[in-house]
């Protein structure tokens, strides 16, 4: 696997590959890689001839400085995992390489970016759009692969790609879970033993809630899921909403959307976890 810290080296490698007729897959990450990321690499290698992975903890998408400080980082371990997964190249730039000067761009992709994470983490999606658009410009992939754990992020990135007329095809890949159901996340490394034991209740209760659609309205289901999760020690729901899969706007009745989807954020002690579930 080739490792690049600078844009020029990566770009000439990718240009050579493209000239040889290869299709370039791209997996952007913030490192602390786990099975979820490796499933994206596997998926990229299925659809493309090679897979470039970026590891870059993007400061502009953290609305909480403590979250940026404590975000887990281990580039050496990430490189070993990527090598074993068959990734072709790792791009691990410094902050000044991605942002030689402050990125002042403001993206406005409308309502998909304003609800849920957009409302609770002001500036977060603007930072995601800044870095993803910059990475797309640098890597110029044919396809980019994103995990559905960040359900809203995929909708926001698709909207951004349409808005800037990016030719990159955005491919959404299923959530990878631990055996006990907890969605794989780099943040799971930050859980205390007590938090780790409690966290699988999030997906257990979400899964059970699929059986309540026949008898409860969306609002009643939201209230019951919230109540059951909050009853688990160390868990506290920040928000849980049921939205239409495409517009990401709240639904008030099950007939409001052909594809209702539940999106949740839960504090497990100090650690903020997100998950989501389809109700169709």
85 makes contact with ligand PAF (CB under 6 A) = no
Asked if 174 contacts 148 with a C-beta cutoff of 8 angstroms, the reply is yes
Question: By C-beta, is 36 or 195 nearer to ligand PAF?
Answer: 36
139 makes contact with ligand PAF (CB under 6 A) = no
Positive or negative torsion for Cα 116, 243, 151, 214: positive
Asked if 27 contacts 51 with a C-beta cutoff of 8 angstroms, the reply is yes
Q: How far is the CB of 243 from ligand PAF (least distance, A)?
A: 19
Asked if 240 contacts 275 with a C-beta cutoff of 8 angstroms, the reply is no
Let me know if 210 is exposed, middle or buried by CB neighbors in 10 A (0-12, 13-18, 19+). middle
Give the Å distances, CA to CA, from 200 to 100, 148, 238: 41, 18, 16
Q: How far apart are CA 149 and CA 231, in angstroms?
A: 23
Q: How far is the CB of 252 from ligand PAF (least distance, A)?
A: 30
Q: How far apart are CA 61 and CA 121, in angstroms?
A: 9
Residue with tokens 């517009």: 247
Q: How far is the CB of 146 from ligand PAF (least distance, A)?
A: 6
185 makes contact with ligand PAF (CB under 6 A) = no
28 makes contact with ligand PAF (CB under 6 A) = yes
218 makes contact with ligand PAF (CB under 6 A) = no
116 makes contact with ligand PAF (CB under 6 A) = no
The answer to whether residue 252 is catalytic is no
Q: Which stretch binds ligand PAF (CB under 6 A): 125-133, 170-178, 199-207, 243-251?
A: 125-133
29 makes contact with ligand PAF (CB under 6 A) = yes
Which residues are near ligand PAF by CB under 6 A? 28-30, 58, 61, 128, 131-132, 150, 153
Q: Which are the catalytic amino acids?
A: 37
């Amino acid at each position: 696997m080739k490792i690049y810290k600078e844009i020029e080296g990566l770009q000439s490698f990718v240009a050579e590959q493209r000239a040889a007729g290869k299709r370039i897959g791209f997996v952007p990450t913030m490192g602390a890689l786990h099975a979820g990321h490796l499933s994206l690499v596997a998926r990229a290698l299925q659809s493309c001839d090679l897979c470039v992975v970026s590891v870059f903890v993007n400061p502009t998408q953290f609305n909480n400085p403590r979250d940026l400080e404590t975000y887990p980082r281990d580039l050496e371990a990430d490189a070993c995992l990527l090598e074993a997964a068959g990734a072709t190249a790792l791009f691990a730039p410094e902050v000044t390489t991605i942002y030689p000067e402050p990125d002042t761009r403001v993206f406005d992709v409308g309502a998909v970016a304003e609800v849920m994470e957009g409302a609770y983490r002001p500036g977060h999606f603007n930072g995601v759009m800044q870095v993803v658009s910059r990475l797309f410009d640098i890597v110029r992939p044919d396809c980019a692969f994103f995990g559905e754990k960040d359900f809203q992020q995929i909708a926001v990135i698709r909207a951004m790609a349409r808005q800037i007329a990016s030719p990159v095809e955005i491919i959404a890949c299923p959530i990878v879970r631990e055996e006990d159901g907890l969605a794989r996340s780099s943040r799971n490394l930050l859980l205390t033993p007590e938090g780790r034991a409690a966290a699988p209740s999030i997906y257990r209760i979400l899964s059970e809630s699929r059986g309540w659609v026949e008898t409860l309205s969306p609002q009643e289901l939201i209230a019951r899921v919230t109540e059951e999760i909050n009853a688990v020690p160390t868990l506290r729901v920040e928000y849980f909403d049921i939205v239409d899969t495409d517009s990401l706007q709240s639904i008030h009745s099950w007939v409001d959307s052909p594809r209702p989807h539940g999106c949740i954020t839960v504090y497990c002690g100090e650690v903020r976890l997100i998950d989501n579930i389809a109700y169709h």
